[in-house]
Amino acid sequence: MEPYIVKILSVEPVTHNVKRFRIEKPDGYIFHPGQATDLSINTPALVNEKHPFTFTALEEEEYLEFTIKIYESRHGVTDALGKLEPGSELVIGDSWGAIEYKDPGVFVAGGAGVTPFIAIFRRLYKDNKIDHNLLIFSNKTLQDIILREEFTKILGNNFINTLTAEKVPGYDNRHINSDYLKEKITDFNQPFYICGPDPFVKEISDALVGFGANPESVVFEK
């Protein structure tokens, strides 16, 4: 399919280094929660620098939305995205794969790896199907937690946070490893959804399968 050239409608901060971009939605554009698209900035220097980003709004919204962590020190695409303003043009392709929700289960995310889960949780919450889903979320510090208030509203006590670089009352101060998973999860006969850095995903997936999880029920981006 031909790529779509779309304009940014709004840019808002989510955390100190994460921004929410709402952009024009092409007529007839279709995606599902958990899916992504390849995105680039419509300038001669960057139009061919395509990177995958996950949709974070719901299908029925009149705009598309991306929640993106800005890595200023890398001087790459996200750094350039972070400097854009409404009216700037982006190029997107069709939606594709990423993470597909099957049944209630345990979501495990590291940092910005939570973004594929945002639209999934919003969809389940709106459809009153959020029960029996658990999110275990690892971040370095409290200020790094993306959409902390919204996830708390959606999931309540089924929103578990651990901080690896600071101690805060009410929050765990541990890395997510096999011991942590065994402590937090009592049933390994259910779906698991994992997203984060590649080493994080591998360690979590291997641990879950080691505890008896069905490899076919461990879902992650491929």
Look up the pTM and report it.
0.95
Q: Residues 85-100: pLDDT tens digits?
A: 999 999 999 999 879 9
Q: Residues 130-185: pLDDT tens digits?
A: 999 999 999 999 999 999 999 999 999 999 999 999 999 999 999 999 999 999 99
Q: Residues 44-82: pLDDT tens digits?
A: 999 999 999 999 999 999 999 999 999 887 778 899 999
pLDDT at 73: 75
22-44: average pLDDT: 97
**Phi and psi based region of residue 181 (left: phi greater than 0; alpha: psi -120 to 50; beta: remaining):** alpha
Confidence class of residue 2 from pLDDT cuts 50, 70 and 90? confident
pLDDT at 222: 64
Query: How many alpha carbons fall within 13 Å on the CB side of residue 40?
Result: 12
pLDDT at 108: 98
pLDDT at 75: 73
- The whole-angstrom separation of Cα 113 and Cα 111 is 5
pLDDT at 121: 98
Give how far Cα 21 sits from Cα of 119, 167, 212, Å: 14, 31, 40
71-75, 189-193, 208-212: lowest mean pLDDT where?
A: 71-75
Helix, strand or coil, per DSSP, at residue 91: strand
pLDDT at 220: 86
Q: Residues 107-138: pLDDT tens digits?
A: 999 999 999 999 999 999 999 999 999 999 99
